[in-house]
Amino acid sequence: MNFPFYIAKRYLHSKSSQNAVNIINFITFLVIVIGSAALFIVLSGFAGLKTFSLSFTNVFDPDIKVTPQTGKFFTISPSQEEQLKNMEGLASYSKELEEKVLLYHREKSHIAFVKGVDRQYNKVTGVDSTIIYGTWTINEVQGVAGIEISNLLGIGTDQYRNPLMIAALKPGKGFISPQSKKAIYNELPIVLSGVYGVEESLDKKYVFADLDSVRRLLEKDSTQLSGINIKVHHEKDIPSIKNEIAAVFNNTVSVKNRKEQNSTLYKMLNTENVATYLIFTLVLVIALFNVVGAITMMILDKKQNSKTLYSLGTTLKELRRIYFVQGVLVTTLGGGIGVLLGSLLIGSQVFFEWFKITASLAYPVEFQFMNVLIVLATIMVLGIVAAKIASSRINKKLITS
């Protein structure tokens, strides 16, 4: 067995004759355990929040979305549509037409977006799973709106006598005179078949209607679209399929995967995660100053032992290595126990949901093996630095005095 490791292991288990040194060592070990457990719990909490936040948008976002590079609309020819149908790896696709409109019901109004979709839309997205009440029924008469729109306009489902009115500006040029205001709008009555609920910003943004009805409302022909939503068989094929789609449209459209569709949200969540990690790492840095103090106290406490070992032929380098290894062992063992305790807490939250945000919603957490590696690596690196600083106190003057 390696000599410095053997002595360091003995020092790790042995107690000092001075009670103060034992207390300092215990507090140091406890701080490492608590610090590593806290870091792991926070990282797991942010991982859960990230998954929870992205779940809101994932029901609306397809695997791949095609949108115009400039303007609001682009055209698709019959030959291009045929190429999409025959594209390998593509499961299904859905066409959409979207525009900002005025919604009004009786004396209440709200600015939102109408999204004209075909029958394939709920096959490429999970939007139909967000229905709170009613059904996902889209046809020339019926549509679906968000819960916020429903509340703002005071409209429910199946109100055939007082449908939701969608008003869109007619395409054209020139000045608008006060006498011709009514002539500049196209209107589409919609009876809500269902109401969806995801999160506030999305719940007040969209009304889903029949694609052909929205085409007539916006005065667009069958080749004009604002987007194509695509579902693939396997996520690993997304990069190649994106390139094929771009080639079909001669690189005149924007083709984005799910992450690119929500790039701002991903950047925000990743930035928050990194910032939190750095803050807690700083706390660990401060806490691991205790390791330096504890090893220094151990060096002074074991001074006679070090003199004996030096007299028996142990070099200064080996003596420094003894206390260096001891510091690494303390931080690694404390970090491992901290991660284990953190894992037990995260596991209990996943299975028992004991900590809740609301009466029905548990705080989202997610156990990721990557977080285990991050915490252990952080503890080990900081422990090595702290042990190196403390063990450097060993010198010939200290041993021979």
User: For 85-129, what is each residue's pLDDT tens digit?
Assistant: 889 889 999 999 999 999 999 889 999 999 999 999 988 998 888
User: Is the separation of the CB atoms in 265 and 53 below 8 Å?
Assistant: yes
Quote the DSSP letter at residue 235: G
The structure tokens listed for 222 are: 């069958």
131-134/64-68 β-pairing: unpaired
CA distance 212 to 217: 9
CA distance 330 to 332: 6
The structure tokens listed for 36 are: 């590593």
Quote the DSSP letter at residue 362: B
CA distance 140 to 162: 16
Q: Which of 297, 301, 250 is nearest to 17 (CA)?
A: 301
The structure tokens listed for 315 are: 């070099």
The residue type at 39: L
pLDDT recorded at residue 329:
82
User: Is the separation of the CB atoms in 81 and 66 below 8 Å?
Assistant: no
φ/ψ bin of 188: left (φ > 0), alpha (ψ from -120 to 50), beta (otherwise): beta
Task: Tell me what the mean pLDDT of segment 180-202 comes to.
Answer: 85
Is residue 152 predicted with pLDDT exceeding 90? yes
User: For 298-323, what is each residue's pLDDT tens digit?
Assistant: 766 666 766 666 666 767 777 778 77
Q: Where are the beta strands (DSSP E) in 233-289?
A: 253-257
More confident residue, 318 or 275: 275
70: Cβ–Cβ under 8 A, 6 or more apart, which residues?
A: none
* Phi, psi angles (nearest 5°) of residue 223: -90, -10
Q: Which of 207, 235, 23, 21 is nearest to 115 (CA)?
A: 207
350: Cβ–Cβ under 8 A, 6 or more apart, which residues?
A: 365, 366, 367
This prediction's pTM: 0.73
Residue that has been written with the tokens 């609306």 in this structure: 60
Task: Please report the DSSP string for 106-144 in residue order.
Answer: TTEEEEEEEEEE-TTHHHHS-GGGGEEEE----SSSEEE
More confident residue, 108 or 28: 108
pLDDT recorded at residue 17:
58
**What 3-state DSSP class applies to 1?**
coil
pLDDT recorded at residue 94:
94
pLDDT recorded at residue 11:
61
Other Cβ atoms closer than 10 A to 137: 16
CA distance 273 to 267: 10
pLDDT recorded at residue 138:
94
The structure tokens listed for 384 are: 């090595």
Q: Which neighbouring-strand residues pair with 165?
A: 104, 189
How far is the CA of 208 from the CAs of 105, 291, 397, in angstroms?
16, 61, 82
User: Is the separation of the CB atoms in 236 and 63 below 8 Å?
Assistant: no
